Chains A and B, each alone.
Chain A
Amino acid sequence: MSRADVCVVACAEAFRGDGEILAAGIGGAVTVLGARLARLTFEPDLLTSDGACLLTGDVPALGEAPEVVEGWLPFRDHLWLVLNGRRHVMLGASQIDRHGNTNISCIGDWSRPRAQLLGVRGAPGNTRCDPTSYWIPRHSPRVFVPEVDVVSGVGTDRGAYGLRRVVTDLAVLDLGGPGGTMRLVSAHPGVSVEEVVAATGFELEVPAAVPETRTPTAEELRLLDEVLDPRGLRHREVPEPRAGEAGRARGGGSAGEGGPAREGGPAREGGSPG
């Protein structure tokens, strides 16, 4: 079991109970795998796509074409579905604050940014109209900031429809803290609460007892290794931590770009609306 496996299962858990809606993992490989793993195990009625316009009847491996197609969802209908709401999207973010406001637009002053990123894409509509979760592949104070530079996805203080959970390479969080603020739900095996707190650039609600994130079952590991990701692409997105690695608070990425834009997150190949 690797850290990447734990992260995929934590993303899959975000879709538990969703029923017959589109599970749109568009924040990187781990989010795609999370949606597909949930469908293959505890949430079989979920719809999943090929990353473009096909709703797949089967659940193919990452990067593989489906053998069975059950529906057509061209980009215009993705945009319709966002407004309709029968969609739970798992997005990436270059910055996120304690109310779950996120930024994928640009770093610095919007009128003349220090670093132009993707643009807001579909984040404003997604977060206003659909249940939304986030996947942050590198939990650091560069990403978890007191205030985002541009609000692309809206948080609990700006009318979000429902922010379900934030999964990172260190922990699972939600917006269940006081006033809809971010709360630590569980820390991944081998990660201390102190490490999570130090990697978070704002005050984090930490319950008295923080459980360990659920580890994958044998069947989930088999599905990941043999069916969904035999090439192990998830391990590129979440490298295995080195023993004793800590001090994320002092490390962390190039200025303002510790996020998924650099890593192909929100602009993933497939580029379907998000």
Chain B
Amino acid sequence: MGKVMTVEEVVGRLESGMTIGIGGWGSRRKPMALVRGLLRSPLRDLTIVSYGGPDVGMLCAAGKVRRVVAPFVTLDSIPLEPHFRRARQDGAVEFTEYDEGMFMFGLLAAAHRLPFLPTRAGLGSDVMRVNPHLRTVSSPYEDGEELVAVPALTLDAALVHLNRADRRGNAQYLGPDPYLDDLYVKAAAAAYVSCERLVDTADLLKEGPVHSLLVSRSMVTGVVEAPGGAGFTACEPDYGRDEEAQRRYAETPWEEYVRSEQS
């Protein structure tokens, strides 16, 4: 029935070495309250699967990450993510670098419990060179076209942040773009949803149309009410990106930033 948890309870269900998908896109609707919970935890050696933003940067800076799976890592208004950048240049993290469309097909394959999905995206590029695990398949039909077989991005856990949810895990986005959050949830063995505000199930459709009900409770393990829980990233229409806070994050040395956040 009720699945309401605290951030600490969600983090307590995760283990070192897990593959964790993080929703949102760049510096938009990232589940930062849950990410900050990961930062405070003893977890390590995580594989982070993300259209990357400050979630990836912070977890790299805190030494939580063994591998990043991403097509990019950016803060949007600040193009280059400073901590991911440093981690890559120091050789501190492994990197699976996919094309944006390949990445979505990896989530779709996992969501449909398929071993892979074929696509043209990636063919001819160095994505094939830097990911020697990737294989191609030939179409079994007359065209015989060779395609990339994107392996399923199956997740041990998914962390997403939506605008509203009920106590059973039905979750709703109210901004203009769902991003790929439903796919992360469907691709994961366990999905944890944080939200701006918990509401009664009967009130969900007072907030937005039926199409805004992005995530079904049947896919959700835990729900956290975390007002402001995407900050400093954007969470429209509840709030936009806090550019000043993001700039401070990007420009402050990591240890100093962590201290200032704790004070």
| A and B are interacting partners | yes
Q: Which of A56-64, A105-113, A175-183, A241-249 contacts B (4 or more CB under 8 A)?
A: A105-113
A119 and B73 contacting across the interface, CB-CB below 8 Å: yes
- With A128-B121, A267-B79 as contacts: A110 and B100 at CB distance below 8 Å: no
- For B124, give its contact among A53, A74, A159, A261 (CB under 8 Å): A159
Q: Let me know if A227 is at the binding interface, CB within 8 A.
A: no
CB distance from B174 to the nearest CB of A (A): 14
- Count: A-B pairs, CB below 8 Å: 149
Give bound CA distance, A72 to B74, whole Å. 24
From DSSP, what is the main secondary structure of chain B's interface residues?
loop
Q: Let me know if B119 is at the binding interface, CB within 8 A.
A: yes
Q: Let me know if A41 is at the binding interface, CB within 8 A.
A: no
CB distance from B233 to the nearest CB of A (A): 11
B76 and A120 contacting across the interface, CB-CB below 8 Å: no
Q: Could you mark each residue 237-274 of chain A with 1 if its beta carbon is under 8 Å from any beta carbon of chain B, else 0? A: 00000000000000000000000011011111111011
CB distance from B173 to the nearest CB of A (A): 10
B71 partner residues in chain A, CB cutoff 8 A? 119-122
A154 partner residues in chain B, CB cutoff 8 A? 123-125
The A97-131 residues at the B interface (CB cut-off 8 A) are: 105-106, 110-125, 127-129
How many A residues touch the partner, as a band?
Answer: 35 or more
B120 and A153 contacting across the interface, CB-CB below 8 Å: no
Q: Which residue on A lies nearest to B26, using beta carbons?
A: A271
Q: Could you mark each residue 67-82 of chain A with 1 if its beta carbon is under 8 Å from any beta carbon of chain B, else 0? A: 0000010111001001
- With A125-B102, A271-B76 as contacts: A76 and B180 at CB distance below 8 Å: yes
Q: Let me know if A152 is at the binding interface, CB within 8 A.
A: yes
The B93-122 residues at the A interface (CB cut-off 8 A) are: 97-102, 104, 119-122
Q: Let me know if B178 is at the binding interface, CB within 8 A.
A: yes
B42 partner residues in chain A, CB cutoff 8 A? none
A79 and B101 contacting across the interface, CB-CB below 8 Å: yes
- For A116, give its contact among B85, B176, B179, B183 (CB under 8 Å): B85
B124 and A128 contacting across the interface, CB-CB below 8 Å: yes
CB distance from B230 to the nearest CB of A (A): 15
The B6-31 residues at the A interface (CB cut-off 8 A) are: 25-28
B84 and A122 contacting across the interface, CB-CB below 8 Å: no
B125 and A261 contacting across the interface, CB-CB below 8 Å: no
Give bound CA distance, A20 to B59, whole Å. 43
Give bound CA distance, A183 to B125, whole Å. 22
- For B28, give its contact among A128, A153, A160, A271 (CB under 8 Å): A271
Q: Which residue on B lies nearest to A274, using beta carbons?
A: B100
B101 and A75 contacting across the interface, CB-CB below 8 Å: no
A106 partner residues in chain B, CB cutoff 8 A? 88
Q: Let me know if A210 is at the binding interface, CB within 8 A.
A: no
Give bound CA distance, A24 to B177, whole Å. 18
Give bound CA distance, A112 to B89, whole Å. 6
B100 and A121 contacting across the interface, CB-CB below 8 Å: yes
28 pairs, CB–CB < 8 Å, chain A vs chain B: A52-B176, A52-B177, A72-B176, A75-B180, A76-B179, A76-B180, A79-B101, A82-B101, A83-B119, A110-B126, A113-B88, A114-B89, A115-B85, A116-B84, A118-B72, A119-B70, A119-B71, A119-B73, A120-B97, A120-B126, A123-B99, A124-B99, A128-B121, A151-B126, A154-B125, A160-B124, A267-B76, A273-B101
Q: Which residues of B contact A (CB under 8 A)?
A: 25-28, 52, 70-74, 76-77, 79-80, 84-85, 88-89, 91, 97-102, 104, 119-127, 129-130, 176-180, 183
Q: Which residues of A contact B (CB under 8 A)?
A: 52-54, 72, 74-76, 79, 82-83, 105-106, 110-125, 127-129, 150-154, 158-160, 261-262, 264-271, 273-274
Q: A75-B180, A158-B125, A264-B79 are in contact. List 11 more A-B contacts (CB 8 A).
A: A113-B89, A116-B88, A119-B72, A120-B125, A124-B102, A124-B122, A125-B119, A127-B125, A262-B79, A265-B79, A271-B25
